[in-house]
Amino acid sequence: MSKFYDENNVRFINQLDKLLKQKEEDYGSFDKTSWVMTQLLENILTAHNGVKVKVSIRIFGIFMVMLKLWRILSSKRYFKDNHDDIAGYNELLRKLIITEEKSNGK
């Protein structure tokens, strides 16, 4: 690997960490929000279908990535924040899955 690649990779990770910290300060914990949104979706779907519906806690992060992709697809211009947000949601989702697997003994 080249030194240029290593430096850019470190710079990207540092920028992503900074973005995630700022987003958490602004909007609260991703893990807590994922749990709340999952519970809300489960309750709505259960009420609508008349049977208990379970939703993966992963769905919120996946949905947010899809929303940002839709914004990119629908926009005629480039908005850096959509791309930054996708990277951020992907990293938060990755950490959530790792934590979930550890707590399930996988």
pLDDT tens readout for residues 56-102: 999 999 999 999 999 999 999 999 999 999 999 999 999 999 999 99
Is 37 inside any structural domain? yes
Is 2 inside any structural domain? no
Q: What distance in Å separates the CA atoms of residue 70 and residue 74, rounded to the nearest whole number? A: 6
Owning domain of residue 58: 29-103
Neighbour tally for 61: CB within 10 Å? 25
Is 36 inside any structural domain? yes
Number of structural domains in the chain:
1
Q: How confident is the model at residue 19 (pLDDT cuts 50, 70, 90)?
A: confident
| pLDDT, position 63 | 94
| pLDDT, position 80 | 92
Is 22 inside any structural domain? no
Average pLDDT of span 42-52: 97
Average pLDDT of span 34-38: 93
Q: What distance in Å separates the CA atoms of residue 11 and residue 41, rounded to the nearest whole number? A: 37
